Structure 1
Amino acid sequence: MPMLTQDFTTQTKELIDALKSACTSYGLGNDGNEFKIITQTFLYKFMNDKFAHEVKRLEPALREAESWEQAIAAYSDEEYDDLLERIDADSALLKREHYLSALHNRMHEANFAKIFDDTLRDIAILNNDIFGVKTNTGANVILFDELSQYITDSSQRDNFCRALINPLVNFSFERIFHQKFDFFATIFEYLIKDYNKDGGGKYAEYFTPHAVAKIMAAILVDAPVSNVKCYDPAAGSGTLLMNLAHQIGEDRCAIYSQDISQKSSGMLRLNLILNNLAHSIRNIIQGNTLLTPYHRQGERLMRFDYIVSNPPFKLDFSDYRDALTAPQHRERFFAGVPNVPNKDKDKMAIYLLFIQHIVASLAPNGKAAIVVPTGFLTAQSGIERKIRERLVSDKMLRGVVSMPSNIFATTGTNVSVLFLDKANTKGNIVLMDASKLGATIKDGKNQRTVLSAEEEARIIATFNAHEAVEDFTAIVSYQQIAEKNYSLSAGQYFDVKIEHIEMTPEEFAAKMGGFTQNLDRLFAESRALESEIQTQLAGVRLV
C-alpha cells in the first residue's frame, strides 16, 4: 500500500474510532442508532472534502488560495450558482453555510444541535434527487436524519454535536480521491464492521468475502463492455455490486438493486457514494424483491446485462409464501415455491426463489453469478432439480465453482457459485472444484478459509480459459450433464485414473507370492483365533 494511502487509512480509522467514542461517551455505544450517527457524520465529512476537491479542480485560483472557503466567499451568488452547475454529478452540492468550516466556526453558539441538524437536513433536501433512496411504495428515504434527537437528554445535545464535529476538522480526504475504491473499500469495511453481523434479526445481512466477489466479477466480465445494467435483487451492503462495477468501470455501468433491509439500503447508498457511483442511487430500492419487484418495464420485469447475488439461503417467508403462488408470479417461479415445513420455518429455502427471479430478470445476452449452497448442485428431487433442468434445457448454464469450506466465517454451509450466460448456447460448461484451495485462519470465534491472490488468479484464469485440469476442472456438455441426472458437481465428471506399473514376469510372480504368503499368515491367525474363542466359550459356566 502506498505511504499516502496508508497514512490516510490510519487517520480515517482514527476518525471513525473518535466518532464511536463520542457516541459511547453520550450513552449511545452499541445503541441501535449508533450506526446511523457514525455513518452519516462520516458521510457529511466525506461530502465536504469531495466538494472542496471538485471546486479546486474547476477553479485553479481556489486551489492556490490559502483558504479556499475565504476565497469562495468573494463569489457573487450568480458566480457561485454557475460553479455548482459545473460540479461533477457524483458530488453533493453545498451552499456556503453547509461547509464543515462554517459549522465548526458556530460550535459555541447556543442551540448548536439545531444548527447541526438543520445543516444536514438542508444538504439532504438540496441533493435529494441524487442521494435519496426510494422504497418500493415510492416513499423517499433522505440522506440525513436529525442526529441530535437520538440523545434523550436534550440538555446534552449541543455538546454531543460538538463532540461529533471536533474530530472532522483534523485532516482532509482531498489528496486521496484519486485512489478511489482501492482506498475507500477498506474504509467502508472498517466503518460498518460492527454493524453488519450475520444473525441479527429476521432479515440478517450478509457480507460476501472479497475473494468470492472478485472471482464472480472477473469471471462475469472477461472483456471490455459499456453502457450496461447491473443488478442485485438481495444487495445487502453492496460488496458484489461494487466489485462488478469496478471490473466494468464505474462510468460504463448503471447499478440497480433491491433489498428488504433498511440498514442494508443505507449501507449500499454509502458504498455507492464512496465509490463514485452516486449516479445510481436513484435505482436503489428498499423493499421485498420476491413479493413486489420494483424494477419493471410495464408489466414485465426489467432485464439486466449482469446480475450478481448472494441471497439468504434459509429464511422464514411463510407470511407471504401463498401470495407468491398467485398467477402473476407463476412464470417467474417456474420450478415452484417451497412449502412451509411443520417445524423450523426458518429453514425455508428462500434462495431457490431468488435463483428463479434472476433467471427471469436476465437480458437475452445477460450473465449472472449466484452464491448457492453446494447441496443445490446434486439434489435429485424438488425445486433444485427442476431449476437445474431448466438451466440445461435452455442452454444458459456457463459453469460452477465449488468454494472451500468456511469461506464465509459466519456459516458452516459449503457454498458454490453458479454462473449463468443466456448466450452460452454452444455448451462447453466449466465445473470447478476449488474446495481444496485456501488456508484456514482464526476469525473471532470462527475458522475461516482465505484464498491467496495466486489461488484467486488461478480460479479466474482456468475458468475463463475453459481449461480442463486434473482433479480441478471438468469441461462438459449439456448432454453429459443430462446423462448424470443433471448433477453439477465437478467430482462426478473427473476421469478415474488407473495407475499402470511396468513389471517383468519374475517381478509379478514375486509380488503375487508375497500376497499369497500374507494371506496364508492371516488365515492361520484367524483359525487360531477361532479355536481360542471356542475354548473360552466351552469354559463359561452359569453362576
Structure 2
Amino acid sequence: MTTNQFETQTKALIDDLKSVCANYGLGNDGNEFKIISQVFLYKFLNDKYVYELKLLDPDLAKADDFDEALKKYSEDDLEMLTMQISENTARIAPKNLLSRLFEQQNQPQFADIFDQTLLDVAKANNDIFSVLTQGGEKIVLFENISKYVSDNRDAFCKALVNKLITFSFEHIFTQKFDFFATIFEYLIKDYNTNSGGKYAEYFTPHAVAKIMASCLVTDTNVNNVTCYDPSAGSGTLLMNLAHAIGEDKCTIYSQDISQKSSALLRLNLILNNLVHSIQNIIQGNTILSPYHKQDNGQLEKFDYIVSNPPFKLNFSEYSADLDSKANKERFFAGIPKVPAKKKDSMAIYLLFIQHIIHSLSSKGKAAIVVPTGFITAQSGIDKKIRQKLVASKMLSGVVSMPSNIFATTGTNVSILFLDKTNTKDVVLVDASNLGTKVKEGKNQKTVLSDAEEQQIIDVFNAKEAKDDFSVVVSYDDLKAKNYSLNAGQYFEVKIEYIDITAEEFTVKMDDFKNGLNKLFDDSKSISLDIQKNLNKIGYERF
C-alpha cells in the first residue's frame, strides 16, 4: 500500500469519527475535539503496542488471530515481552486493548467499560505521557469521554469502537515527519483556530515553520541540543525544528497557557516519536511564571528557540506583577503600559521577544514571528529591543513575509532571527512580493510555492544580496539607519544612463517644451469654456 493510500485511509478514519460525533449531537460542539483527539490517540497507541509486540515475537506476527494468540501468554511472559518495547510506546494491558473492547460492545453499560478502559491506559502510562501544569498537577492522557453525550451513551461508544476496529495504524509506523505532519494538520484543522488572539492557539503555516527551522539549523552535526517554545500552541514550530535537527538528537521544552494547546502538542509529540519530551511540556503562563529553571533558580537557557507569540493580548491583570526586581534583566526594554482604552491591544509579543533573548544559551539561536511594524518602529520598547540586538551583536537577520501569510489575520509579519554567535553581517530579506493569493473560507491567504520557500532559505543561509529581494548589512549600517531592519531601506537605488549626443538632447528638450506648452494652452481653453458655462447657468437661474 502506498503512502498516499495510507494518508487517504487515515483521513477517512478521522472523518468517520467526526461523523459519529455529529450523529450524536456533537457536531461543532466545543467538546468534539476532546473526543476526536483522544479516541484517535487511543487507537494510535493501541496499534503501536501491538506493532511492537509483533516485532519482538514472530509467532504473534504470524498468528491469524493476534488476540487469541496473546491470550495464551502468561502474565509473566507478557510482562517480559512488554519490558523490551521502546519507551515511546504506551504499555497497554490485554484487557484494555481495542480488540477486547470490541468483544464487549454488547455488554450492559458499555459506555462505562469504554471510559474505564481509557482511564486505565492513562493511569498505566501516567509517568511518561502526562503533561504538567505550572502548579505541578498532571494532565493525564484520557478522561471520561462518554460524559459529553447526553443520551445513548452506550450506542455512542459502540459506534466509535466499530469505526476504530476496521482501521490499522500498523502499516504506517515506518512513516516519518512529513506524513504525520499532514495527518496532524488534518486532525486539528477544525479545532485549532484563532480564538480571539489567545495564546498561540492558531496554526502556524507550514511555509513559515519550514523557513524558520531551515534557517536556524544549518549544521548537520548538531546533537544533544535543547529546543524551546514559550508560546508553543499545537507545536508546529517545534516539530519542524526537531525534524530539521533529528528527533533523536534534541529534547523539546515548552510552555503555553492553553490546556487545549498542551493536549494537541502532546499528541504531536507522540505522532512524531518525541515521547521522551512530554515531561517538559508545561501548561502555564510563561510571561508571569516561567516554569523551566536551572538548579540555581535562574531561567533555563536553550540552544534553539522558536516562537509565534500572540501579538496583542490584555495582560493588565498581572502587568504590575511583572515590574519586579527579579524581572529587571528579563524585561530589559520595559513592560508595555496599560492603555486607558482597548486593553486587548497590549503588545504582549514585546515581552515574549525579551523573554526569548534572556533564555538563549551562549551559542543559542532563535526565530520569532513578529508584526512587521516591530522592525521599523522609531521609538519605545520596539526600538530598545533592536538596539540591544545590535549592541550585543546577536542579530542574524530578518525575513519580511508576504501579506496574508496567515489567513486568520491581516497583520503583516516578519521573522526575526537571532544568533548569539553572529558577530558579522546581517541579512535582510524582503519576500513580501512572493506567493499566490488564494481563498481559504471567507479569508484570503498567500501561499508560497516550494521553490519560493527554498529561494528564501537559500538566500538567507548564504547571506546573499539580490536586487530588490535581499541585502547584507553590517551592525554599523543598522545604527546609521536608526536600527531599522526593513530590507527596502537598504536597497541601492539604481539610475540607468543612456548616451546621447548634444543634438539629440536638444531635440528631446524641444519636444518636451512644445508638449508642455500645448498642455498649458489646452488647460487655458478648458478654463475659459468652464467659466462661460458657469456664467450662462447663473444667468438662466436669475
Provide the TM-score with structure 2 as the length reference.
Answer: 0.96
Say if 2:140 is the partner of 1:142.
yes
Alignment-derived partner of residue 510 in structure 2: 513
Say if 2:50 is the partner of 1:52.
yes
Instruction: Name the Cα RMSD after superposition.
Output: 1.6
SS at match of 2:2: helix
Q: Once the two structures are superposed, what CA deviation does each residue of 1:22-67 show, in whole Å capped at 9, x if it has no partner?
A: 1122222222211111110010100111112211222222222222
Amino acid at match of 1:320: Y
Question: After the TM superposition, which of the residue ranges 66-75 and 377-386 deviates more from structure 2?
Answer: 66-75
Alignment-derived partner of residue 468 in structure 1: 465
Distance 1:144 1:512 in 2: 82
Distance 1:294 1:365 in 2: 22
In structure 2, relative to structure 1, the CA distance for the partners of 1:64 and 1:515 (3 Å cut) is same
Q: 1:161 aligns with which of 157, 161, 176?
A: 157
Say if 2:491 is the partner of 1:486.
no
Alignment-derived partner of residue 368 in structure 2: 370
Q: Number of aligned pairs?
A: 538
Amino acid at match of 2:215: I
Structure 2 matches for 1:75-224, cutoff 5 A?
75-153=73-151, 156-200=152-196, 202-203=198-199, 205-224=201-220
Amino acid at match of 2:345: K
SS at match of 2:173: helix
Say if 2:428 is the partner of 1:431.
yes
Say if 2:60 is the partner of 1:62.
yes
SS at match of 2:316: coil
Runs of at least 5 residues in structure 1 that lack an aligned partner in the other structure? none
Distance 2:288 2:301 in 1: 17
SS at match of 2:317: coil
Distance 1:201 1:422 in 2: 30
SS at match of 1:461: helix
Question: After the TM superposition, which of the residue ranges 104-113 and 137-146 deviates more from structure 2?
Answer: 104-113
Note if contact 1:197-1:204 (Cα within 8 Å) is conserved in structure 2: no
Alignment-derived partner of residue 316 in structure 2: 318
Amino acid at match of 1:143: L
Note if contact 2:131-2:282 (Cα within 8 Å) is conserved in structure 1: yes
Q: Once the two structures are superposed, what CA deviation does each residue of 1:317-350 show, in whole Å capped at 9, x if it has no partner?
A: 1111111111111110111111111111111111
Q: Once the two structures are superposed, what CA deviation does each residue of 1:391-420 show, in whole Å capped at 9, x if it has no partner?
A: 000000000000000000000000000000
Q: CA deviation at 1:261?
A: 0.4
Say if 2:527 is the partner of 1:522.
no
Note if contact 1:100-1:169 (Cα within 8 Å) is conserved in structure 2: yes
Amino acid at match of 1:173: F
Q: 1:235 aligns with which of 229, 232, 237?
A: 232
Structure 2 matches for 1:210-289, cutoff 5 A?
210-224=206-220, 225-289=222-286
Question: After the TM superposition, which of the residue ranges 179-188 and 452-461 deviates more from structure 2?
Answer: 179-188
Amino acid at match of 2:17: L
Q: Once the two structures are superposed, what CA deviation does each residue of 1:68-108 show, in whole Å capped at 9, x if it has no partner?
A: 33223222222211111111111111111121111111111
Amino acid at match of 2:285: N
Amino acid at match of 1:13: K
Amino acid at match of 1:410: T
Amino acid at match of 1:511: K
Note if contact 1:180-1:276 (Cα within 8 Å) is conserved in structure 2: no
Alignment-derived partner of residue 344 in structure 1: 342
SS at match of 1:90: coil
Question: After the TM superposition, which of the residue ranges 105-114 and 533-542 deviates more from structure 2?
Answer: 533-542
In structure 2, relative to structure 1, the CA distance for the partners of 1:266 and 1:504 (3 Å cut) is same
Amino acid at match of 2:473: V
Q: CA deviation at 1:219?
A: 0.3
SS at match of 1:212: helix
Distance 1:471 1:502 in 2: 26
In structure 2, relative to structure 1, the CA distance for the partners of 1:537 and 1:165 (3 Å cut) is closer
Provide the TM-score with structure 1 as the length reference.
Answer: 0.96
Q: Once the two structures are superposed, what CA deviation does each residue of 1:237-283 show, in whole Å capped at 9, x if it has no partner?
A: 10000100111110000000000001101110111111111111000
Amino acid at match of 2:203: F
Q: Once the two structures are superposed, what CA deviation does each residue of 1:177-197 show, in whole Å capped at 9, x if it has no partner?
A: 111222221111111111111
Amino acid at match of 1:299: G
Runs of at least 5 residues in structure 2 that lack an aligned partner in the other structure? none
Alignment-derived partner of residue 357 in structure 1: 355
Amino acid at match of 1:214: K
Note if contact 2:13-2:167 (Cα within 8 Å) is conserved in structure 1: no
Question: After the TM superposition, which of the residue ranges 320-329 and 20-29 deviates more from structure 2?
Answer: 20-29
Q: 2:455 aligns with which of 450, 458, 466?
A: 458
Amino acid at match of 1:404: P
SS at match of 1:321: helix
Distance 1:327 1:69 in 2: 62
Q: CA deviation at 1:510?
A: 2.0
Amino acid at match of 1:192: I
% identical equivalent positions = 63
